[in-house]
Amino acid sequence: MSDKHYNLVIVGGGISGAALFYEMAKYTDIKSICLLEKYEELATLNTKATSNSQTIHVGDIETNYTLEKAQITRRTAKMIEKFCLNHKLENKIMFKHQKMALGVGDEEVKFITKRYEEFKELFPYLELWDKKKIKTLEPKLIEMPDGSDRTDNIIAMGAKDQYTTVDYGKMTEELIKEAKTCKGSTTDIFFNSHVVKITKKDDIYTLKTKNGDSFTADFVVVDAGAHSLYLAHNMGYGKHMGSLSVAGSFYVTKKHLLNGKVYMVQNDKLPFAALHGDPDILLDNKTRFGPTALVLPKLERYKSGTFFEAIKTMNLDGKILKIFWDLLKDSDIRNFIFRNIMFEMPFINKKLFVKDARKIVPSLKEDDIEYAKGFGGVRPQVLNKDEKKLMLGEASIDTGDGIIFNMTPSPGATSCLGNAQRDVEKVTSYLKLKFDKKTFLSDLTE
């Protein structure tokens, strides 16, 4: 047995791995935990604040969420809020902005009005705002280039006094910091530890890293985005799944335009987030528009060397090609994909993007925005061969044999503490440990 043996090894130092690290250290009687991070610091990829919209996805203004999904995301979003409040992180890494889902045109107005009636019981703070009220809250949504009011029929459902925004990169650091203060267990973190192989012998897992280090564990949880599926495939798990890497880019305004988050109505045919505008907490609350959705054969947006891993993780065969064909034969999806390719092309990208963004801010001009260089990440979109379709949301492979692989596209950051609770219960059950669920629920839920 290796000298570096732990009850639990977590692979991945983003928000998901950090949440599990924290919950295991604070709320269980585990004796030793280890977190292995590929790079030199925490949260260098999708958790980094420049890689996501910094949004607490509650389910109130995300129009592609069903009522059932919103009930789940509301609970996990409140966990984010409670953690930050418990550690006095409000106005440091968590912030309040107003937020709304905007409907433009008769059809979307009807949709938003109906949705408000369906969701107001779950979210009693929601309000329905007409054009006059929207103008007082977000004048740029109404103002035309000549200064007149837009003539579109518009309406919004929204809220003014809710926590909406988190720097998930900073929250990752806070989770780790709090875990390290917990007494009674070893809590080790190793950076520059790229896990390339996981094997099992008897009841012990061995994890080999690229630099030659070896770790052993009684239980392993892989929280490494698309890399999770890559490692699962290498062990023979998740062969019914493939992964399509989709990169999201953003455009940022040169001055303050929006006071809060403005989300658009989601096209049900499209598995990607609708265009939205957010005050960016890294850029003095200038507005960041996005994300785009660019299919990219990489597992990491701004890092080299993941092309072959992306191709392998796609798990390409006739069933995967059938899923692609079914997606591409729909004109809405096909046009969306090609348009998003254009959003990345110099000279024409801003001109095309502004046309879409004017649905939010009618007076927006090309000179008002610039491509946000270095912003955006890669989200694994999981393809299910058995069901021959794209799986929306998160995916997890629980082998039932002491190892779990998690793939967490949006709202993975918002759901991190809830997902971690799920895994805590599985780890403690498998290892016959105690989970202080009563204290956990008291600390992190309403």
As a whole number of angstroms, the distance between CA 342 and CA 356 comes to 12
Give how far Cα 154 sits from Cα of 195, 262, 279, 356, 389, Å.
51, 13, 22, 16, 34
pLDDT, tens digit only, all 446 positions of the chain: 456 999 999 999 999 999 999 999 999 999 999 999 999 999 999 999 998 889 999 999 999 889 999 999 999 999 999 999 999 999 999 999 999 999 999 999 999 999 999 999 999 999 999 999 999 999 999 999 999 999 999 999 999 999 999 999 999 999 999 999 999 899 999 999 999 999 999 999 999 999 999 999 999 999 998 899 999 999 999 999 999 888 889 999 999 999 999 999 988 776 667 889 999 999 998 999 999 888 889 999 988 889 999 999 999 999 999 988 988 888 888 888 888 888 888 888 899 999 999 999 999 999 999 999 999 988 888 889 988 887 766 789 999 999 999 997 668 899 999 999 999 999 999 999 999 999 999 999 97
Query: Is 5-444 a domain of CATH 3.40.630.30?
Result: no
Task: Return the pLDDT at 3.
Answer: 64
pLDDT given at position 1: 45
> Do the Cβ atoms of 302 and 363 come closer than 8 Å?
no
Which of 6, 437, 412 lies closest to 221 in space, CA to CA?
6
Task: Specify whether the CB–CB gap between 262 and 53 falls below 8 A.
Answer: no
pLDDT score of 404: 98
Question: For residue 147, what are its two tokens?
Answer: 């200064």
3-class SS of residue 352:
helix
Give the 3-state secondary structure of residue 253.
strand
Peptide bond into 291 cis (omega under 30): yes
- Tokens 């591409």 -> residue: 328
DSSP state of 51: G
Please name every residue paired with 244 in a beta bridge, in sequence order, or none if there are none.
381
**Residue in the structure block whose two tokens are 């007076």:** 363
3-state secondary structure of 290: strand
- Rounded Cα–Cα distance for residues 432 and 238 (Å): 26
* Pick from 21, 51, 24: nearest CA to 413: 51
Q: What is the pLDDT of residue 369?
A: 94
Domain boundaries defined on the chain: 5-444
Distance between CA atoms of residues 364 and 289, nearest Å: 11
